Amino acid sequence: MVGDEDSIALVLNRLRRAHGQLAGVIGMIESGRDCKEVVTQLAAVSKALDRAGFKIVATGLRECMTGATADNKEPMTEAELEKLFLALA
């Protein structure tokens, strides 16, 4: 993954939180919880995943602006970044 250690840690934290929330949603459905509660928690999972994705794209943008990548590869092109961004939209 692109990014410095702090960015990677933030993304992993968000993904772990989403993982826990998703497990909770599955449990809620299995136990027959109210539709409104399930949808509310599912929206929280979706938001956590979106935030992780946006952080990855933002890190890619920063690397493109500075020309610095963690593994000394060529930075992503504008078209590649646009494609990533649109995948989250």
Instruction: Report the range of poorest mean pLDDT among 10-14, 41-45, 52-56, 66-70.
Output: 66-70
Q: What is the total count of domains within the chain?
A: 1
Does pLDDT of 56 surpass 90?
no
* Structure tokens, 54: 């946006």
Domain that holds residue 11: 5-88
Instruction: Supply the CATH number for residue 57's domain.
Output: 1.20.58.1000
| Sign, CA torsion 6/53/26/34 | positive
Where does the pLDDT of residue 74 fall: very low under 50, low under 70, confident under 90, or very high at 90 and above?
A: confident
Query: Do residues 76 and 60 make contact, with C-beta atoms less than 8 angstroms apart?
Result: yes
